Amino acid sequence: MREITIPISDDVIRSLHAGDPVNLTGVMMTGRDAVHKWMSDTFIKKTRQPQGDDLPVYEAIKKFLDHGVLYHCGPVVSGLDTKEYKFVAAGPTTSIREEPYQADVMKHFNIKGVIGKGGMGPKTLKGCEETPGAYFHAIGGAASFLAQTVQKVLGVYKLEEFGVPEAMWVIEVKNFPVVVTMDSHGVSKHSTLDESSRKVLDELLAQPY
């Protein structure tokens, strides 16, 4: 089990290979569909003009994402009334929805790690090679356990605009368990599994009844 501290250097990322188990410790940020679209439209493709607090939020999150980790997570959070936030559930959400955006977001913010579940596609894999970065697979169905690794909620952005699940939560984690399933060397466990599964299926279908 590799013990890795966030922020993550390029050398550490390049030392990781698909299949490596990792414990992550440090500060990471959550971001799902609304966040990726907002980042892409406002600051990467620039198809919309910054509005409201967009620019201050952009400047604030850049320091967390540079050599940082973005977690595809829609948490359950207590303490919303008092702003004494605590993660109650912090399971990963399906990552493939972010495939149109992820590589560009990684490059723009210099993100070294993306956490989610289910894997991502060829565009993100290429982004992992070029940035460089890695896709970390988190444990599905273990939302309460993963929430226990969250030591502190350091802040939240776009809470009123995006809502609790889609907001950008900045969290400090300790020993957050993941597995590298897409590395900076162009290897994806997800595509390998798809190919092997397809081969087995083809062999089964080819058998006479």
pLDDT tens digits for range 45-61: 999 999 999 999 999 99
The string of pLDDT tens digits covering residues 136-145 is: 999 989 999 9
Confidence (pLDDT) at 190: 79
The token pair at 155 is 């802040």
Tell me what the mean pLDDT of segment 21-38 comes to.
98
Q: How confident is the model at residue 206 (pLDDT cuts 50, 70, 90)?
A: low
CATH number of 2-206: 3.20.130.10
Q: How confident is the model at residue 40 (pLDDT cuts 50, 70, 90)?
A: very high
Confidence (pLDDT) at 196: 45
**How far is Cα 50 from Cα 53, in angstroms, rounded to an integer?**
8
Q: How confident is the model at residue 109 (pLDDT cuts 50, 70, 90)?
A: very high
Confidence (pLDDT) at 116: 98
Q: What is the residue extent of each domain of the chain?
A: 2-206
**How far is Cα 29 from Cα 189, in angstroms, rounded to an integer?**
24
The token pair at 135 is 């896709």
**How far is Cα 156 from Cα 154, in angstroms, rounded to an integer?**
7
The string of pLDDT tens digits covering residues 151-198 is: 999 999 999 999 999 999 999 999 999 999 999 999 999 755 444 445
Pick from 32, 29, 9, 2: which is nearest to 95 by CA? 32
